[in-house]
């Protein structure tokens, strides 16, 4: 079977992770959640006692952190998402994470990667690119539910403010800003169930592979 790379990009809590995971299972491909890499850098910065805006410290950490050191529950919290978007705006951090993402995508059968810049920077030649969106309110409601499930009771308005701030930071940075690649297909999941979003994604991918 032909090699298949699927790039899934989109803003925070758009449903891209859930979708990418399901696509990987469907096609039998390895999956990389690239947001976790930025979250690991942020976690390592905070654990080492660095100010999250310290770009010099981040440039060292990105080349030395231990990818196996962090259980996922230490990476998924509310403050780590915020801290990850701060380090993700640093060119040295993005450069430091580039090679391992490209290596992952280069696996023999292909791969599914999700993030902000997979279709634009990491895998510009991917045949199948999805840009997954939803309204800020729908995304905040999803994140609210997810955090409640983890035992973090945060007011909805606070989460909506987080989402808007993270959108602005991810879209406004100079290096690899969040945006749809020219050849990406946008999938608005605001009114879709997980099942419907998955079916729509399969339809798009099957046309392009
Ligand atoms: O996707 P997730 O919310 O886990 O990503 C955390 C942060 O990492 C994002 O807000 C974004 O700033 C950054 N990120 C990125 N490029 C990627 C994946 C994540 O800049 N490919």
C-alpha 1 – ligand 1 centre gap (Å): 31
pLDDT average, residue stretch 147-154: 89
Give the mean pLDDT of the chain.
96
Asked if pLDDT for residue 1 goes beyond 80, the answer is: no
Residue with CA closest to ligand 1 atom 16: 116
- Atom nearest to 101 CA in ligand 1: 21
Cα–Cα distance, 76 to 151 (Å, whole number): 12
What integer pLDDT is reported at residue 179 of this predicted model? 95
pLDDT category of residue 48 using cuts at 50, 70 and 90:
very high
Predicted TM-score of the model (pTM): 0.96
Q: Which of 10-19, 32-41, 85-94, 149-158 has the lowest mean pLDDT?
A: 149-158
pLDDT average, residue stretch 171-182: 96
Token pair of 60 as six digits: 């060292």
The neighbour count for residue 206, using CB atoms within 10 Å, is 9
In DSSP terms, 7 is beta-bridged to: 113, 129
Tens of pLDDT along 112-147?
A: 999 999 999 999 999 999 999 999 999 999 999 988
Residue with CA closest to ligand 1 atom 14: 35
What integer pLDDT is reported at residue 152 of this predicted model? 87
For the chain, the first-to-last Cα distance in angstroms comes to 11
Q: Report the candidate in 134, 141, 133 with the shortest Cα–Cα distance to residue 116.
A: 133
State the sign of the Cα–Cα–Cα–Cα dihedral 39, 45, 48, 51.
negative
- Atom nearest to 122 CA in ligand 1: 21
Asked if pLDDT for residue 77 goes beyond 80, the answer is: yes
- Atom nearest to 118 CA in ligand 1: 21
CB under 8 Å to 26, separation ≥6 — which residues?
198, 202
């Amino acid at each position: 079977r032909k090699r298949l790379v699927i790039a899934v990009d989109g803003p925070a809590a758009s449903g891209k992770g859930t979708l990418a995971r399901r696509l990987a299972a469907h096609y039998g491909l390895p999956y990389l959640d690239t947001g976790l890499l930025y979250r690991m850098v942020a976690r390592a910065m905070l654990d080492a006692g660095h100010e999250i805006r310290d770009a010099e410290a981040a440039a060292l950490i990105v080349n030395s952190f231990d990818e196996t050191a962090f259980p996922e529950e230490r990476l998924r919290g509310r403050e780590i998402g915020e801290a990850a978007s701060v380090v993700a705006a640093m060119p040295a951090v993005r450069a430091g994470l580039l090679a391992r993402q490209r290596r992952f995508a280069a696996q023999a059968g292909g791969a599914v990667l999700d993030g902000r810049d997979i279709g634009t920077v990491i895998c510009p030649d991917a045949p199948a690119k999805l840009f997954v969106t939803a309204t800020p309110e729908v995304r905040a409601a999803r994140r609210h539910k997810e955090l409640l499930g983890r035992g973090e009771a945060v007011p909805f308005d606070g989460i909506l403010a987080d989402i808007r701030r993270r959108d602005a930071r991810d879209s406004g940075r100079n290096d690899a800003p969040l945006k749809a690649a020219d050849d990406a297909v946008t999938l608005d999941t605001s009114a879709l169930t997980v099942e419907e979003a998955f079916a729509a994604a399969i339809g798009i991918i099957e046309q392009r592979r």
